[in-house]
Amino acid sequence: MSIGTTDSEGLRHEMVDRLAADHAAKGLKLRPDVEAAMRVVPRQLFTPGLPLEEAYKDAAVVTKRRGEETISSVSAPFLIAEMLGQAADALDGLEGRHVLEIGSGGYNASLLRELVGPAGSVTTVDIDPEVTDRAATCLAAAGYNDVTVVCADAEQPIEPVRRYDLIIVTAGAWDIPPAWRDQLTGDGVLVVPLRTFGMTRSWALRRSGDRLDSVSDRQCGFVSMQGAGAHEMRYVDIADGVHLRLDEGQQVDAAAIASLLTQPRQEAWAGLSLPPRTILSDMDLWLATRLKPEVSEFVVLSAQERAVTSGIVAPAWRFGTPATIDDGTFSYRSALRWTDRKFDLGAYAHGSAAAAAVGRMVEHMRAWVDAGSPSPVLHVLPAATPDGDLPDGAVLDKRHSRVVLTFTPQGGTL
């Protein structure tokens, strides 16, 4: 019997009870099959050396660093549950399915093994031999000897002739290599944390010929992809504790923006009264698709707590807020303004055209609300796809693919 079996079982059930309650608070439901798997798999066996109570916290566990950079981790249980739920919803259950996991921690692979059952299969791959060795050891300790562990760069096919019903990626990707699409069955599903406009979401994408179309998405964050699929996200400091995240080839003059921040701040408000459950990450992508063609650069602002406390900036979310640079002006989505448990949306700007910049940003916020707070839909097509064959929407050209973002309110596509 493994150490702390009784205590670990109790902690495991407490963890899943919290996940179910958190899902309910968000208006979601934890799938029964995912819940059952999470009540079975002993997470502490995939976090060796960690105190039992820490193993069952709803937080990621770093398993390997390179300097200060995290390069491998066991993902937070809430995020694992949401992504497994996306996969199971898209495929109407995972029993009997054949799954390829890209990014090996072991814990997620064991949950997948529970979900696919005896008739299914799970292959997990990672580029780092230390990570795959660790995953294989942990899987064996937990009794999941029938999970296939492969050390390889998943940018290329793992088994060229094999097809999978589901490919689930547990590392942050910037692009979709052809191998991921081509290894799917004809109507298979890819679940991947993909960066678009510098913002990461877990997309569940269904294959249809040579294209992938999203059926669901969740906001998330992951360690970055390594190997041939790596794409550096650059950070530029513009003030003490204030950074711009550049992910789509943007070019900025950091000194000029730093100077703008010393100028008086202009603000504008949308005059709205929105409920707490409003999904503002959907609006952030809406802003990206609407503002990017209108300004010289669309970027993402991030700030350390000290920069917000001191008043240098007041972003909506300090870990990643839409921002623009245009006409000698820097603008960004502001912190929310709350009244009677409802909130209003606003924008702040510094520079010569600050009034116009905040007005433009707020106008697009109102347009999103007026359109019914639509959700984003992602389409991924091969890089050689002609413009005329693309869906209508905002296009991002990446190395292997052309990514198109559209928005779907109740009743149709915008």
pLDDT in tens, 131-183: 999 999 999 999 999 999 999 999 999 998 999 999 999 999 999 999 999 99
pLDDT of 20 above 50: yes
Q: Count other Cβ atoms within 10 Å, centred on residue 255.
A: 9
The one catalytic residue in 8, 72, 73, 75 is 75
DSSP-assigned letter for residue 228: G
**265-269 and 346-351 as β-strands: parallel, antiparallel, unpaired?**
antiparallel
Q: Average per-residue pLDDT in the chain?
A: 93
Q: Are 349 and 178 in contact (CB under 8 A)?
A: no
Mean pLDDT of 229-255: 93
Q: Measured between alpha carbons, how far is 393 from 112 in angstroms, rounded to an integer?
A: 34
More confident residue, 412 or 51: 51
pLDDT in tens, 44-55: 999 888 899 998
pLDDT for res 59: 82
Q: What is the pTM of this model?
A: 0.93
Q: Are 119 and 97 in contact (CB under 8 A)?
A: no
What is the sign, positive or negative, of the torsion defined by CA atoms of 369, 216, 124, 45?
positive
pLDDT of 26 above 90: no
pLDDT above 70: percentage of residues in the chain = 94
Mean pLDDT of 366-393: 97
- What are the tokens at 193? 């944390």
Annotated active-site residue 208? The verdict is no
Mean pLDDT of 199-212: 97
pLDDT for res 7: 85
